[in-house]
Structure 1
Amino acid sequence: MPSFAQLNPLRIRSYIFRLPLCTRILIFAIVALWIATIPFTWLRQWASLVPDKVNLASMYRLNTFPLMHLSFLHMVFNILAVTPLLERFESEFGTLVTLVLFTGPFGTLPGGIYTLLEKFLLRSNTTVMGASIWVFLLLAAEAMKTHKANPNFSIGPYKIPTWITPLILVFIISFLVPNVSLIGHLCGAGVGYLWASGYIRFLVPPEKILRWIESKLNLLGRLPHYVSVDQKTYGRYGVLPSTALGTIPRSPEPGQRLGP
Structure 2
Amino acid sequence: MEKMYPPVVNSPKTELTELITDTQTEITVANASVLLQGEGIAVLGNGDAAETITYTSVEDSVLKGCVRGYEGIARAWPVGTRVARNFTAADFRAVQNNIESHEDRLLDIATQPRAEYASNADKALPASTWLSPNWNIKKTDNNNFITSPDLETVTIRTSGVYLIQAIIGVSSYAGGIRNIKVIKNGTEDIGYNSGAPGSSYTSRNNITAIAYLNALETFKVQVFQDTGTELTLSSGVCRLSIIKISPP
* TM superposition score normalised by structure 1: 0.20
Relative to its length, the structure with more strand (as a share) is: 2
Relative to its length, the structure with more helix (as a share) is: 1
* TM superposition score normalised by structure 2: 0.21
Task: Work out which of the two has the higher radius of gyration on C-alpha atoms and give 1 or 2.
Answer: 2
